[in-house]
Amino acid sequence: LGKERELQEANTSLEATVAQRTAALTQANADLLKLATHDALTGVFNRRRFDEKLAECSLLFQRTGRTFALLFIDADHFKRINDTYGHATGDDVLVQLAQLIQRNTRATDFVARFGGEEFAVLLPELEEPESPEVVAEKIRAAIAQAQFAAVDQVTVSIGVGVAELSDSNASALIKRADERLYQAKAAGRNRVFSTTQTLSAD
C-alpha cells in the first residue's frame, strides 16, 4: 500500500509538472508569435504581418471581386516633435497615435505600423455608410481633437486607396494610397485625400 501511494503521488506530481511545462511552452509560443507579428513599440501589427494580410486581401479580391481599401496615415511634422522634445516623447506620441487609430476603426479593420511615423489600415469590408473616406476622416478628427502629453496637439495626413480589378499586384494599391498621402501633405496636411474627395479640418 505504501509503495502504491508513493507511485500515485509521484505520478500526480509528474502530471502537474508536465501540465505546468506545457502551459509555459504554450505561453512562450504565443509570445514568440506576437513578437513576430506585432510592432514592439506600439503593439499594433508590424510591417511583415501587414504584407501578409495585404496579400491575403488581394487574393480574396481577385477571387470574389469584393473590393477593399488601404489607408496610409502619417504624423504631420513628426521630425519637429523628435527634434524639439526628444525621441522618448516621439515614441509616446506614436503609442498614442496607434491607440487612437485602433479606437476609431472597426473590429474587421487591420491596423499596422508601416514604418517610422507611418501607419497603415486595411479595410476589408467596404459597406455604406462607413466608406473608406468616412473611416479615414473619423481617425483624422479623433487625432486632431486629442491631447498629447508634452506636445499638446498632433495632426495626421491620410491617403486613401481602393483596390481595383485592373491592379496587377498589391504594389499598385500601395502606390495609389501613397500618392494620395503625398497629395494630402502637399495640400496643407491634417486632411484626408482619396480618388473621390478631399476632407480636411478647414
| Residue corresponding to grid cell 491575403 | 56
Phi, psi of 157 (to 5 degrees): -110, 140
Q: Any idea what DSSP says for residue 106? A: -
| Residue corresponding to grid cell 501540465 | 19
Alpha carbon distance 34, 30 (integer Å): 6
Annotated active-site residue in 4, 6, 56, 117: 117
Yes or no: say if 156 and 143 are a contact pair by the CB < 8 Å rule: yes
179 is catalytic: no
* Cell, residue 162: 481602393
Residues 6+ apart with CB under 8 A from 136: 71, 73, 158, 160, 192, 194, 199
Q: Angle formed by the axes of helices 78-85 and 87-103, to 10°?
A: 140
Phi, psi of 32 (to 5 degrees): -65, -40
Query: Is residue 57 classed exposed, middle or buried when 0-12, 13-18 and 19+ CB atoms within 10 A define those classes?
Result: buried
Yes or no: say if 93 and 155 are a contact pair by the CB < 8 Å rule: no
Active site residues: 117
